[in-house]
Structure formats: structure tokens, C-alpha cells
A and B are shown apart, each in its own frame.
Chain A
Amino acid sequence: MQENRTILIAEDDSDDRLLLETAFKETGLDIELVFANNGVELLKVLTAKGQEHYPRMILLDLNMPKKDGREALKELKQHPLLKKIPVIIFTTTKNEAEIARCYELGANTYVVKPDSYSELLKVVNQLKNYWFETASVALK
């Protein structure tokens, strides 16, 4: 069976999508990024395919139209199969209460969007090395 190397990214901001795309490309061309504009799209993408097509991890923005990150996270973590996919909250909010709430809802980690490109590169590398290559495999 061919190894699935997909990251599903729920992000409504095109700038942030471009930045993530650029940064992930710098870490290597072996990862496929699939984008969703909001929580509704995210869940649609996930349920449309079978379990074998599930992404290795999900990057989830909190503030999105239609269905925001919190609602999507809650639904993901209540789903019997989807709950196994690591969810990384990727957002601008630094509010401690918000962070605590996300962990309560089942987020695997919480990353504040970096202010500089070099920081972004570091974050993306870490996500790739830990959550993508190690943790998500271990969770299976």
C-alpha cells in the first residue's frame, strides 16, 4: 500500500495558505497539502473519502467563516475514526483561555502563527518532523 503523505489545512486566509505552501515546499517536495476554506469544507473533504485516504495530520485555523475551528475540532474529536488524526491548531490568538479550551476539546497541540518567515520555517519543520513523521504514524 502506498504511503499517504497528505496534510489537510483548514485556513480561510489566502496569504497564510501561500505562506504555508511556500514554507512546506522548502522542507521538501514529498508532502501533499490539501486546503479547505472553513470547517464545513474540512469535514466534507474528510468524509468524502475512505479511511485509507485520511490525511496524516490536520492544521486548523480557529477563526474561519461558516464553521469555525472550535466547532470543527469538537466534531473531529467526537468522530470514532477521525479522532485519531492529529489536529494542530494554527492561529493568531494568544489568549490563554482559548488555548486551554482547545486542549479540552482534544487538540493535539497549539501553535501561534509566527511573526517572521524564519520562525515559520522552524514551526513547519517541527510539525513535519514530529507530528507528520513520528506521532501520526505511532497513533495508527
Chain B
Amino acid sequence: MRKSQLYSIAFGFSILVLLSFSLLLFNSLNSYSEYSALVEHTQVVMNNLQKIHSQVVDAETGQRGFLLTRDSSFLRPLLIARLEVPVTLDSLKQLTIENANENEQIDTLKAVIWEKFQIMEQTLNISPFISAQSLNKRLEEGRVRMDDFRSVINSIMKSEQDLLKERAIKKLKFERITPNYFKVIISITAIVSFVTFVLLMQELKQRNTAQTLLETRFHALNRSNAELQQITHVTSHDLQEPLRKIGIFSDALIVKFKNQVPHEVLAILKRINTNAFRVRELVADLSAFTSLSTPDGKIESVNLSDIIVKIQTALSSKINSLNAVIEASPIPTVMGYPHQLEMLFTELVSNGLKFSKPDVSPRILISSSSVMGKENDLLNPLRQYLMVLVADNGIGFEEEYSNRIFILFQKLHSHEDIYEGKGLGLSLCQRIMANHEGFITATGESGVGATFRLYFPL
């Protein structure tokens, strides 16, 4: 019992450890994929910033080229930048929507670029009409704006780079830790499986040993049962015959020669005869008892009330001569061996009649009730029983003998002249109750009466 409790605790614990590690693994996998996505996101943002940067720089370079050469093909990068940069800025705005600081910087960047483009376009528009000095001044203004642009974009780049660094470190951390969780889970599973296997094999081995032992015992029991049956057969047939003959021959001597031999001889012959008869009865009872060890017949539904009526009829001459009263309330049917149950109640009723007080009419009460097994230590506490009570008002017995009276050939009352019997009846009752998976108990009070309780499992 304690061992199995220990196993349960160990099993529960390992399941708990496995679950914890699985949870850790799940979290770690989640974080890893989250940081992978974030790293990718940062890279997209940085790519977009790079793109804007190079397009603005190209536009600036193109503007200068045009101013120097007046070749309109130099204006292409500016035209492309005018078209594409706002789109890229919008997508950057979307990408950084969760980063308020950066989002604000993107707005600043947008404004700076806008101003830059304004200055570039104005410069281009008025360049044919202004002096070289004025042009230089405007270009200087454009350069200042360009510095502003660089500073803003570098700042955004810098913060993105910081983010990338931070996210890449975390991604790496989870990338490294996840396989470890896997290893731990696999190791625990392997250990638990191995231990379970070893324990199972041990248990199986023990069971096999126990089963082999059980089979050996079972065969031994069968053998001794067969021997017991042989002994029963020998006692009931082969032993009975010589005893019958001792009785009948001694009786023949008494009958034939009673007028020819001295009284002393007759007295001795009578004693031989009586003893032969007693031994025969003992042998017959013993063989009846041993034959109960191998129940014959089929278990069927038995009406105990009918059996009691039958017994009353069979014992009527004795009941009448003792002026006895048997009061039986209706008893439900039980499953059992009819012949054995008849023997059982015959014994109990006869017992009540036999051990009656010399000056009091015997009164035997038979009743029944349904009880739970908890009522008595002998019983299975989880089962329900039909309790049949047989109580008499006879000489009773001392409470301390309540177990001894069921022992084979144990007699409490040695006055053989008054109370006949060989002390087998109650052992027979106990055996019969055992054959019905039931129990019998006896309680008594000297001079007041005896009460027998029969418990039949329901």
C-alpha cells in the first residue's frame, strides 16, 4: 500500500516537472519567433530609411549636376524621389506606429525632406534668373537642410540599430535556450520511461513468483482436498462397518445369553455396546462435517421460513414433549444450499431445545433484519448482510466461551446425562455459514439464554 502511494507520488511529480518544462519550452519558442519577427521588422525599417537616404542624396546630386550642365536628365532622380519618398515615408510611419518616439522623428524627417524638396525646386525654378552669388547662397541653404536631413535620418537609424542589437541578443538567447528545454524534456521522459519499465518488470517478476507460489499451493490444496475426501469416504464406509458389527455382536451376546452370564459380564457388554454406538455416531458426524468442505449440489434461492416450518414438523415430538414454543417471523429468501441450510437451522433449534432449563418451557425466537457489514468486525464493512437471529431462553453460557463453542467437539456442558450431544453441531453451523460466505456469532448469558446471529451476504 505504501509502495503504491510512493509510486503515485513519484509519477505525479514527474508529470508535473514534464509539464513545467513543456510550458517553458512553449514560452521560449514563442519568444524566439517573436524576436525573429521583430529583428526582421527592424531590418525592413532600416532598409526603408536607407532607400530614402539614397534617393534624397541622389536628388541633391542630380540637382547640382543640372545646375552645372543644364542637362535635364540630371533631374530624373529628383522626380523619382518626389514620387517615391512620400510612399516610403508613409510605410515607415505605419511600420513605426507602435514606437511613438520614432514615429515623431519620422514626422520630423518628413518635414525636413519636404522643406528640402521645396528649396531644391525653388532653386531650380529661379536659377536661370539669379546671380551666381544668390545661387550659392540658396545652395548653401540647401546644404544646411541636407545636414538637418542627415542628422534626423541618422538619429532614426541609430535608434533602429540599437533596437536591432537588443532584439538580436534576445533572439539569440531564446535560440540557445530552446534546445536545452528540449533536451531536459527528452531526458526526463527517458528517465521516467526507464524507471517505469524497471518497476513494471520488477512488479511482473514478483507477480509471476506469487502466481507460481499460488499455483503450487493450489495444487497442494487440491491434493489435500482429494485426500480429505478419501478420508471422508473411509470414515463414512469402512470405519462405520466394523463399529456397527462390534455393536451388533455385543448386542447379540446380551440378547442371547442374558440369562446365562453373570450381571457383571452383561454390564461390561452393555458398556462395549454403548461405546461402539457413540463412536459410530461420532464418525458419522465427523464424516458429515468433512463432507461439508466440498459443497455438493447447486446454490439456489432458499425460503428460510419454509425450512423452519419443515424443521418444526420434524422435531414436533420433541417440541411437544418439552412444551416448547418456536416463534418465527417471516424471513426473506437467501441464496444457498437447501440441504445445508436445513441442517443449520435443525442444529440451532435442536440446540435451543437441548440446552433448555429443566423447569422452564423452551422458547425459541427467530427473526431477521438487514444490516451493514460495519456492525461486526468479522464482516466486510462495505457489504450488506441479512442477519437471522436465533435466541433461546435456555441455560446459556458464559460470555468468555462465545468463540470456544464453535470449536470441533468442544463441549461447555459436561453433564452428559442431562445434555446429550457430541459437541459438533455448532462447528457444523460455522462450516455451513462459511460455505455461504457468511458468519455466525454467539452471545450468551449463563442462566438467561443464548443468541445466535447468522450473517448472509446480500
- Number of A residues contacting the other chain (C-beta, 8 Å)? 15
Shortest distance in angstroms between A82's beta carbon and chain B's nearest beta carbon?
29
- Number of B residues contacting the other chain (C-beta, 8 Å)? 14
Query: Which of A13, A16, A92, A116 has a CB less than 8 Å from the CB of B240?
Result: A92
Query: Which of B248, B254, B277, B280 has a CB less than 8 Å from the CB of A120?
Result: B248
Instruction: Give the nearest-CB partner of B248 in chain A.
Output: A117
Indicate whether A115 reaches chain B with its CB closer than 8 angstroms: yes
Instruction: Give the nearest-CB partner of A22 in chain B.
Output: B252
Q: In the bound complex, do residue A115 and residue B240 qualify as a contact, i.e. CB atoms below 8 Å apart?
A: no
Q: Contact flags (1/0) for A86-97 with B, using CB distance below 8 Å?
A: 000000100000
Q: In the bound complex, do residue A117 and residue B245 qualify as a contact, i.e. CB atoms below 8 Å apart?
A: no
Query: Which of B240, B244, B251 has a CB less than 8 Å from the CB of A118?
Result: B251
Q: In the bound complex, do residue B248 and residue A19 qualify as a contact, i.e. CB atoms below 8 Å apart?
A: yes
Q: In the bound complex, do residue A116 and residue B241 qualify as a contact, i.e. CB atoms below 8 Å apart?
A: no
Indicate whether A121 reaches chain B with its CB closer than 8 angstroms: yes
Indicate whether A15 reaches chain B with its CB closer than 8 angstroms: yes
Instruction: Give the nearest-CB partner of B251 in chain A.
Output: A117
Indicate whether B255 reaches chain A with its CB closer than 8 angstroms: yes
- Most B CB within 10 A of own CB, among A15, A113, A114: A15
B residues near A115, Cβ cutoff 8 Å: 244, 247-248, 277, 280
In the assembled complex, the Cα of A22 lies from the Cα of B249 at a distance in Å of 11
Q: In the bound complex, do residue B244 and residue A117 qualify as a contact, i.e. CB atoms below 8 Å apart?
A: no
In the assembled complex, the Cα of A117 lies from the Cα of B248 at a distance in Å of 5
Instruction: Give the nearest-CB partner of B254 in chain A.
Output: A117
In the assembled complex, the Cα of A120 lies from the Cα of B277 at a distance in Å of 16
Instruction: Give the nearest-CB partner of B247 in chain A.
Output: A115
> Which label, helix, strand, loop or mixed, suits the secondary structure of the A interface?
helix
In the assembled complex, the Cα of A121 lies from the Cα of B248 at a distance in Å of 11
8 Å CB contacts to B: which residues of A115-140?
115-118, 120-121
A residues near B252, Cβ cutoff 8 Å: 19, 22, 117, 120
In the assembled complex, the Cα of A26 lies from the Cα of B256 at a distance in Å of 9
In the assembled complex, the Cα of A116 lies from the Cα of B273 at a distance in Å of 9
Instruction: Give the nearest-CB partner of B252 in chain A.
Output: A117
B residues near A117, Cβ cutoff 8 Å: 248-249, 251-252, 254-256
B residues near A16, Cβ cutoff 8 Å: 245
Q: In the bound complex, do residue B255 and residue A121 qualify as a contact, i.e. CB atoms below 8 Å apart?
A: yes
In the assembled complex, the Cα of A115 lies from the Cα of B256 at a distance in Å of 16
Shortest distance in angstroms between B37's beta carbon and chain A's nearest beta carbon?
94
8 Å CB contacts to A: which residues of B131-147?
none
Q: In the bound complex, do residue A92 and residue B244 qualify as a contact, i.e. CB atoms below 8 Å apart?
A: yes
Shortest distance in angstroms between A25's beta carbon and chain B's nearest beta carbon?
10
In the assembled complex, the Cα of A114 lies from the Cα of B252 at a distance in Å of 12
Q: Contact flags (1/0) for A1-43 with B, using CB distance below 8 Å?
A: 0000000000001011001001000100000000000000000
Q: State the B residues within 8 Å of A (CB).
A: 240-241, 244-245, 247-249, 251-252, 254-256, 277, 280
Q: A22-B256, A114-B248, A121-B255 are in contact. List 6 more A-B contacts (CB 8 A).
A: A16-B245, A19-B252, A92-B241, A116-B247, A117-B248, A117-B249
Q: State the A residues within 8 Å of B (CB).
A: 13, 15-16, 19, 22, 26, 92, 113-118, 120-121
Q: What are 21 contact pairs spanning A and B, CB under 8 A? A: A13-B241, A16-B245, A19-B245, A19-B248, A22-B252, A92-B240, A92-B244, A113-B244, A114-B248, A115-B247, A115-B248, A115-B280, A116-B247, A116-B251, A117-B252, A117-B254, A117-B256, A118-B251, A118-B255, A120-B248, A121-B255
